[in-house]
Chain A
C-alpha cells in the first residue's frame, strides 16, 4: 500500500496538473512570475502548443497517476494563435467533463479556463482558486490507479 493512500486530511496537499497553451496561458504564467505574484506550488504546469492539442486522455492519465485536480488553460475564444484550436478544445473538453461526471467522478476536479498572456494576475488567481477547491474536495480516490502507486 502506498503512503499516498494513507494520507490524512491534515498533512495532505493536493497535486494539480495545469496544461497551458504556449501562446496565452503559459505566457500568462510567465507574467505572473515576472510580476512576482504568488500561488500555491501544488500546481505544476505542462506546456502544450494549443488547448486544441489537449487530448482528454492526458487528463485521464493525470487522474490515474494520482493528480487531485487538472486544469486546462488556453487563449480566450477568438484569440487562438491558430485561429480555431481553442474552439475545438472547448467542445471536446466540455463533452469530456460531462462524461467523467456521468462516470461518477467529481467534475469540479477538472476545469477549463481562458487566460491571456497579459493576465498574469488572473493566472495566479485561478491557480489559487483551483487549489482551494481541490483542498475542500479532498484527495482524488476514485480515479487513482493503485497499481501505479504501488510501483512507486
Chain B
C-alpha cells in the first residue's frame, strides 16, 4: 500500500480565497493510500518545502501530492524538495488547483469540490508512480555546421574560438555563400569580398575548424550530445594535398558550362573554382561537362597540372562522424521571376534579378565590372527597378516581405549612379521598408542625392520595342499610367527557402513553416533553437534576413552550441516509453510513428517448447525517446507503455475524477 502525503497550498489567498482548504485537506485524508495531509500558506517557500521534507521523514511517506499552482510553475521545486528528503523526484504529483481551479471559478461552492476531485486524481495517479531515472548522455565535444555562407562561417568561428572542434560542411566547392556574390553591402558600402574573404581565410586556417566542402549531409541519427552523421564528400577529381591552386588547369580546359556562381549569366570551365577568392582554392571537375568523362578524350588538365593533382578515378567518400551539436545555416534561394509572365524575365537578356544585376558591378563578374546591357554591351541610360517581385504577393508569390530588397535596390541605384553618372534609375515599389540602423538614412540619400525616382505603384507589362524595354505601370499616388523606355530592368525577386530545405529538414529533424523556412522553437524566446534538442539554426534558412541580422543570429546559435558542448553530461528525458518484449509481436508499427527514431528492432531469444527461438521485437532507446507516447497508442498488442504517463495512471485519474458522481 502506498504511503502518500497530501499538501494543500493556500497561495496566500490565491487558492484559499476560492477553495475551502480545510475541507480539501479533510477530504484528502480519505483518499486511498493517503496517510498524511496538511496545508500551508506558501508551499513553494523554504518553510513550505521544509514542511514537506519533514513530513516525508516523520511519516515515512513514499509519495507526495501537492495541491498548488500549475506543475508548469513549481513541479521542479517540489520534485527537488522530495529528492532532498530521500524520495525519488518522480514520486511527486501536482494537482493544479490554482490556474485550473481557484483562478477560473468564482466561489467556494464551485471551486472546492473541483479542487477535491483534482487532488483525488493526483493521489490516484501517484499511487501508481514508479521511481524514474533520467538517462545521462555523454556529450561529444565536436560541432557540425551545415552551410558555409556568412552564417555558417561566423558560427564555426565563434564555436572554434571557444575551443571546440567544428566541421563546416558546404555543398559548393567553396565556402562564401550568397555574401560572396555581392559587390557592396548596405548601408556602409563596404566591399563585400573585402570583409568576407578574411573571414573565409580565418575559417580555413583555424586549427579547430575543418572545412568539408563539395559535400552534403546525408544522414543524421542520434540525439543531442551524440548525433551520428554521414557526410558525402563528392569526388573533386583533384588531390587536395597535391594541388597548389595555380589555376593552369582551368585556363587550359576547353570545355565550358554555365557558371552557377554567376547564375548562368557567364560561363566557367568544366574544371573550375566557382570564383577567384574561393576557399579552399582547389578546383573541381564537373563530370557532366568534362570531355574526358563525357567522351573519354581530352585529359588536358591532367597533362598541364604541374603537381599532377588531377585524379579522374577519385570516388565519393562517406565520412561518418559523431557530433554533440548541429547548427544549420543553409541560406536562401532567389525566386525565379519567370512565373510572372508580364515581366518577361527569361525572355530578354536585359531583364535581370537583383542578384544578377549585382554581379555586373563585380570585377570578376560576367561583364568584368562594367555595368552594360548583356544584349549589346552598351551602358544603360535608364534602369527600372521593380520591388516585391514575388514578395508580399498572396495570390502568386510569397505572402511575406523579403526584407532585403528595398535596401539592396537603393544600394544598386546608388552604385549605378556612381558608375554611370548619366544613368537614371526608377524604382517601382509598394512600400519602402528600411528598418535597420542607418538604413532609412541610406535609402533617403539614394533617392535625394543620387536622383533615384521612387514611383509608388505596380508594373503591369514589360515588352521590348526598338532597342529598349517598355515598362508600363501605374503610379498609384496620382493614378496615372507611366511608361518608361528602359534599357534594363532589375527585378527584386523574393528571397525564398532553398528548394531542398524540406529534405534537409527531414534529415536533420527540423520542421518548416508554410514557406519551407526552418522553424525556430519559439518565435520570440527561442529564435535559434529548434524543436530538436541540440539542433540550432542561423541565418536566412530561418527567414529572409540581412547580413547584420545573420551574423547576430550566428553568434547566438554558436553560444547555444557552446553551452551544450561545455557540459560533460546532459540529462535526458525520464518519462520514456518501454516495451514489454514478452508481449511485443514485432510488427514495428511503433517504429514508424516515432518522430525521434527512438525505436529499433532487436533480436531476442526465447524459450519455446524446450528449445530456443529467435524473435524480433521492438526496443526503445531511452536517450532518444522524448516521451510523446505516440507509440503506446499505435501498438495493437498494448505492449508499450509510457513511464510517468502509463495507461494505468491515466485511467486511475479518469476514475478518480469521475468518482464525484
Question: Which positions in A face B, CB cutoff 8 Å?
Answer: 2, 4, 15, 17, 22, 26-27, 29-30, 32-34, 36-39, 41, 44-50, 52-55, 57-58, 61-62, 65-67, 78, 81-85, 88, 92, 124, 149, 152
- Return A56 CB to nearest CB of chain B, in Å: 8
Whether B629 lies near A32 (C-beta < 8 A) is: no
Min distance, Cβ B192 to any Cβ of chain A, angstroms: 37
Query: Is B575 in contact with A49, judged by CB distance below 8 angstroms?
Result: yes
Chain A min CB distance to B605 (Å): 31
Q: List 14 A-B contacts (CB under 8 A).
A: A15-B660, A30-B72, A34-B99, A38-B106, A41-B105, A44-B117, A45-B96, A48-B645, A52-B630, A54-B633, A58-B651, A82-B531, A83-B509, A88-B633
- Report Cα–Cα, A33/B658, bound state, in Å: 23
Q: A34-B103, A48-B650 are in contact. Are A152 and B629 (CB under 8 A)?
A: no
Contacts of B628 in A (CB 8 A): 49-50, 52-53, 81-82, 85
Cβ–Cβ contact B72 & A67, under 8 A: no
**Option from A2, A30, A65 in Cβ contact (under 8 Å) with B658:** A65
> Quick check: B658 and A41 within 8 Å, CB to CB?
no
Contacts of A66 in B (CB 8 A): 658, 661
Check: B447 CB closer than 8 A to any chain A CB: no
With contacts A44-B117, A49-B629 taken as known, whether A33 is within 8 angstroms of B661 at the C-beta atoms is no
Shortest beta-carbon distance from A53 to chain B in Å = 3
| Contact B645 A36, beta carbon cutoff 8 Å | no
Contacts of B593 in A (CB 8 A): 52, 84, 88
Q: Scoring B residues 98 to 137 as 1 if CB is less than 8 Å from chain A, else 0, what string do you get?
A: 1111011110001101100110010000000000000000
Name the residue on A nearest B112 (C-beta): A41
A65 CA to B70 CA in the complex, in Å?
Answer: 26
Task: Tell me how far the C-beta of B658 lies from the nearest C-beta in chain A, rounded to whole angstroms.
Answer: 3
The reply to whether B117 and A52 contact each other, CB–CB distance below 8 Å, is no
Take A30-B99, A38-B104 as given contacts and tell me if A53 and B645 are in contact as well, using a CB distance cutoff of 8 Å.
yes
Is the Cβ of B633 less than 8 Å from the Cβ of A17?
Answer: no
> Is A65 within 8 A of B650, CB to CB?
no
Residues of B within 8 A of A46 (CB): 121, 650, 653-654, 657
A83 neighbours in B (Cβ, 8 Å): 509, 511, 531, 595
Q: Are A44 and B121 in contact (CB-based, < 8 A)?
A: yes
Q: Are B511 and A53 in contact (CB under 8 A)?
A: no
Q: Which 7 A-B pairs have the closest CB atoms?
A: A33-B99, A53-B629, A65-B658, A82-B628, A33-B103, A52-B630, A30-B99
A26 nearest in chain B by CB position: B72
Contacting pair A30 B70 (CB below 8 A):
yes
Give chain B residues whose Cβ lies under 8 Å from the Cβ of A4: 661
Q: A53-B633, A82-B595, A88-B634 are in contact. Are A45 and B100 (CB under 8 A)?
A: yes
Cα of A138 to Cα of B58 in the assembled complex, Å: 48
Residue of B nearest to A50 (CB): B628
A27 contacts which chain B residues (CB < 8 A)?
A: 72
Closest to A35 in B: B103
Q: Which residue of B lies closest to A45 (CB)?
A: B100
Closest CB-CB distance, A124 to chain B, in whole Å?
7
Closest to A46 in B: B653
Residue B647 is within 8 A (CB to CB) of chain A in the complex:
yes
A38 touching B575 by the CB < 8 A rule? no
C-alpha spacing A85/B596, complex, angstroms: 11
Report Cα–Cα, A36/B101, bound state, in Å: 10
**What B residues does A32 contact at CB under 8 A?**
99, 104
Q: Interface 1/0s, chain B 589-602, versus A by CB < 8 A?
A: 00001011000000
- A33: which B residues are within 8 A, CB to CB? 70, 98-101, 103-104
Q: What are the residues of chain B within 8 A of A53 when measuring CB–CB?
A: 628-630, 632-633, 642, 645
Question: Within residues 548 to 594 of chain B, which ones have a CB less than 8 A from any CB in chain A?
Answer: 575, 593
Q: A30-B100, A49-B575 are in contact. Are A152 and B117 (CB under 8 A)?
A: no
**B1 interface hit (Cβ, 8 Å):** no
Chain A contacts for B113, CB-based, 8 A: 41
CA distance A54 to B647 in the complex (A): 10
Known contacts A83-B595, A84-B595; A65/B96 CB under 8 A = no
With both chains docked as a complex, state the minimum distance between the C-beta of A141 and any C-beta of chain B, in angstroms: 12
Q: With a CB–CB cut-off of 8 A, which chain A residues contact B103? A: 33-34, 36
- Within 8 Å CB of B626, what residues of A? 82
Residue of B nearest to A58 (CB): B650
Q: Known contacts A38-B105, A49-B645, A81-B531; is A17 also within 8 Å of B630 by CB?
A: no
Kindly state the separation between the CA atoms of A115 and B596 in the bound complex, as whole angstroms.
Answer: 24
Inter-chain contacts of B111 with A (CB < 8 A)? 41
